[in-house]
Structure 1
Amino acid sequence: MRKNAKKATKRTCSMALAAVLAFAPVTVFGATDTANHWANAVISDWESKGLIKGYEDGTFKPDNSVSRAEFVTMMNNVLKNDAEGTVSFTDVKETDWFYQAVAAAVNAGYCNGYEDGTFKPSATISRAEAAVMVANAMGLEQDAAGAEGFSDEIPVWAV
Structure 2
Amino acid sequence: MPAASAAPTVELRAIELATQGPDALLRFELVLRNDAGVPLEAVRPVVVLGSAGPTLAREIASFHASAPTMNAAAQFDLAPGEARRLTGELTLPGTAMHVSEVAGRAMIVPVVLVDLRWRSGLSVRADGAAFLVGTGTEEASRLGPIWVDRTGQRFTRIAARRFVPEAQS
Indicate the TM-score class for this superposition, using the shorter chain for normalisation. under 0.3
Q: For the pair shown, which has the larger CA radius of gyration, 1 or 2?
A: 1
Give the number of the structure whose residues are more often strand, by fraction: 2
Question: What is the TM-score normalised by the length of structure 2?
Answer: 0.18
Give the number of the structure whose residues are more often helix, by fraction: 1
Q: Which has the higher contact order (CA 8 A, sep 6+)?
A: 2
